[in-house]
DNA sequence: ATGGCTATTCAAAATAGA
């Protein structure tokens, strides 16, 4: 089963590029972030006509996550537990049954800039809630993954120019420590389990010719529980579509799971 | 880069992104 994460930066703006990528990459499941749409306005027919079931957790203008799946989605839940006052649409979960069941968590972790400040506090608080949910998945010994736009550059090798990001909410020490607290519970970064070294990015800014200079960062990740990591067969970053017409500033990252 | 681009929104400039 090919499972991808893709921050599309607006479903309306990606009404051509996203179906084009689906048709060529043929993922079984896609976890989408930044749909920037309410549920009622999401163009589900674009995906249903390609054989995908669509589940959204949308919000007006900003944020918003969704799941597309060729197999039925079961037990769908919306919103990251731990703060009933949080109105931002950044988390969705569902179960898909292949040979075995796998729990899929799609997430759009807060950017957090400027740091320090209230937005950064929100990011760190959100990550603490994420850690709690992650621990539950481990405690249940589930075949599960948490994938999405983490807005975290894990290591210097994950940025073309790490020094430019030192004080940024995506790379400052506190952010990376919070990310490691989650990974170190026992998760596997799917991409890094298979590919080492610098030069692998999932985001290039629209500004300043970042794409042409390959000035990117790796911030979209799939974290696997041990039971899921046992089934990991392949990974990839579909970098080339960043150079196509009307691209998102992110590209898809995927994992092939033997399930 | 204290923002060079893109997307969104009660439709013009503001907000957000990373």
What are the residues with a C-beta under 7 Å from any atom of nucleic chain B?
Answer: A 7, 9-13, 34, 36-37, 60-62, 110-111, 113, 119, 149, 151, 164, 170, 203, 205-209, 217, 219, 246, 249-250
Helical pair A118-139 and A173-183, crossing angle rounded to 10 deg: 10
pLDDT value for A132: 98
Question: Nearest 5°: phi and psi at A214?
Answer: 55, 40
> What residues contact A84, with CB distance under 8 A and at least 6 apart?
none
Rounded Cα gap, residues A67 and A92, in angstroms = 8
A158 is catalytic: no
**Å from A61 (CA) to B14 (C1')?**
13
Beta pairing partners, A7: A33
pLDDT value for A259: 96
Catalytic residue among A149, A168, A189, A249: A149
> Is residue A95 a contact partner of residue A103, using CB atoms and an 8 Å limit?
yes
A108 is catalytic: yes
Catalytic residue among A52, A108, A150, A201: A108
pLDDT value for A230: 98
pLDDT value for A173: 97
Which residues in A45-69 are b (16+ Cβ under 10 Å) and which e? ebbeeeebbbbbbbbeeebbbbbbb
The CATH number of the domain holding residue A226 is 3.60.10.10
**Å from A106 (CA) to B18 (C1')?**
19
For residue A225, what are the domain limits?
2-257
Q: What angle do CA A62, A6, A128 make, to 5 degrees?
A: 65
Structure tokens at A32: 């989408």
Other Cβ atoms less than 10 A from the Cβ of A249: the count is 18
**Å from A220 (CA) to B1 (C1')?**
25
Which nucleotide is nearest, taking the CA of residue A247 and each C1'?
B6
Protein-covered nucleotides on strand B (Cβ within 7 A): 1, 3-9, 16-18
Rounded Cα gap, residues A222 and A111, in angstroms = 17
pLDDT in tens, chain A (259 residues): 999 999 999 999 999 999 999 999 999 999 999 999 999 999 999 999 999 999 999 999 999 999 999 999 999 999 999 999 999 999 999 999 999 999 999 999 999 999 999 999 999 999 999 999 999 999 999 999 999 999 999 999 999 999 999 999 999 999 999 999 999 999 999 999 999 999 999 999 999 999 999 999 999 999 999 999 999 999 999 999 999 999 999 999 999 999 9
From residue A73, how far is each of A14, A47, A54, A66, A124 by CA, in Å? 23, 14, 9, 12, 30
Rounded Cα gap, residues A136 and A84, in angstroms = 18
**Å from A115 (CA) to B2 (C1')?**
15
pTM above threshold 0.75: yes
CA A10 from chain center: how many Å?
Answer: 14
Domain count, chain A: 1
Helix, strand or coil, per DSSP, at residue A61: coil
């Amino acid at each position: 089963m090919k499972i991808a994460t893709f921050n599309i930066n607006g479903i309306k703006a990606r009404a051509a590029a996203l179906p084009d990528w689906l048709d060529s990459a043929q993922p079984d499941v896609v976890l989408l972030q930044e749909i920037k749409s309410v549920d009622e306005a999401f163009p589900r027919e674009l995906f249903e006509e390609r054989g995908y079931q669509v589940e959204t957790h949308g919000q007006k203008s900003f944020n918003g996550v969704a799941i597309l799946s060729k197999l039925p989605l079961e037990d769908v839940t919306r919103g990251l537990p731990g703060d009933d006052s949080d109105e931002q649409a950044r988390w969705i979960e569902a179960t898909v049954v292949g040979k075995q069941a796998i729990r899929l968590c799609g997430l759009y972790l807060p950017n957090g800039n400027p740091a320090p400040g209230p937005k950064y506090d929100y990011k760190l608080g959100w990550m603490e809630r994420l850690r709690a949910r992650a621990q539950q998945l481990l405690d249940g010994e589930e075949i599960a993954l948490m994938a999405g736009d983490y807005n975290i550059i894990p290591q210097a090798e994950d940025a073309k120019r790490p020094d430019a990001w030192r004080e940024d909410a995506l790379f400052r020490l506190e952010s990376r420590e919070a990310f490691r607290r989650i990974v170190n519970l026992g998760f596997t970064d799917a991409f890094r389990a298979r590919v080492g070294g610098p030069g692998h990015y999932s985001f290039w800014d629209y500004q300043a010719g970042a794409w042409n200079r390959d000035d990117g960062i790796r911030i979209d990740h799939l974290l696997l529980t041990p039971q899921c990591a046992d089934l990991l067969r392949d990974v990839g970053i579909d970098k080339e579509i960043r150079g196509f017409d009307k691209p998102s500033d992110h590209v898809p990252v995927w994992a092939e799971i033997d399930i």
